[in-house]
Amino acid sequence: MNFELDSYDRKIIALLQENARLSWSEIGRQIHLTSPAVAERVKRLEEAGVIMGFTTRINLRALGYSFEAMIQVTVESHDALDRWAAAHPEVLAVHATTGNHCAILRLAVSAPEHLQSLLKSLGDIGKTSTSVILSSQCEERPRLPADQLPRR
C-alpha cells in the first residue's frame, strides 16, 4: 500500500467513518474544499483501495439473533472450514490464526439450540472451543492512522 494520505484525506476518512452518507458538499464545508474536490479525492481513495466500501451497521438482534459466540477451531482442512463458513450466513468472520488452534470464528445465533446445532455440524470438520460473547465494545470506533496514535 504505497498511497500517501494527506491531511485532507485523513479528515475525509474520519468523517466518512462516522457517517458514510455525508454529502460531498457537507464534507467540503467542514474541511474547506469544494464538493468536486471531495468527490475526486474519495474516488481516488476508493481506486487506491484505501476506502474499501460503504456499509450499514445493522442491529443483529433486529435480524432475529440473540447473541454471538467466538469459536476456536482446529481443523485438518482449511478448505473444508472455508466451505462450511461460506455455507453458513451466521458466520460473521473467520480469522485464520497462529496458535494452538487454526482459526477463530465469530458467529451470530438466534438461540442456544441454534448454537448447539452449528457446533454439531462444525464438529464434523474439526475440534471446537466456544466462548459466548457477553458484550462488545469499540467496534464502532473510527480507525486512526498508525502514525497518529497518541503518545504514551
Partner DNA sequence: TCTGAAATATCTCCACC
Partner DNA sequence: GGTGGAGATATTTCAGA
Hey, what's the cell of 75?
481443523
151 part of the interface to a second copy, by CB under 8 A: no
Contact call for residues 116 and 69 (beta carbons, < 8 A):
no
What lies within 8 Å, CB to CB, of 55 at 6+ separation is 20
Q: Which of 6, 21, 79, 113 binds a second copy (CB under 8 A)?
A: 21
Footprint of DNA on residues 87-146 (CB under 7 A)?
none
Partner interacting with residue 145 (select from a second copy, DNA, none; CB below 5-8 Å by kind): a second copy
Binding mask 35-54 for a second copy (x = CB under 8 A): -------------xxxxxxx
d(CA 143, CA 149): 10
Sign (positive or negative) of CA dihedral 83, 84, 90, 93: negative
In the complex with DNA, which residue's Cβ is closer, 26 or 76?
A: 26
Q: Which of 39, 92, 119, 125 binds a second copy (CB under 8 A)?
A: 92
Quote the longest CA-to-CA distance of the chain: 58
Footprint of DNA on residues 4-43 (CB under 7 A)?
8, 23-26, 28, 32-37, 39-41
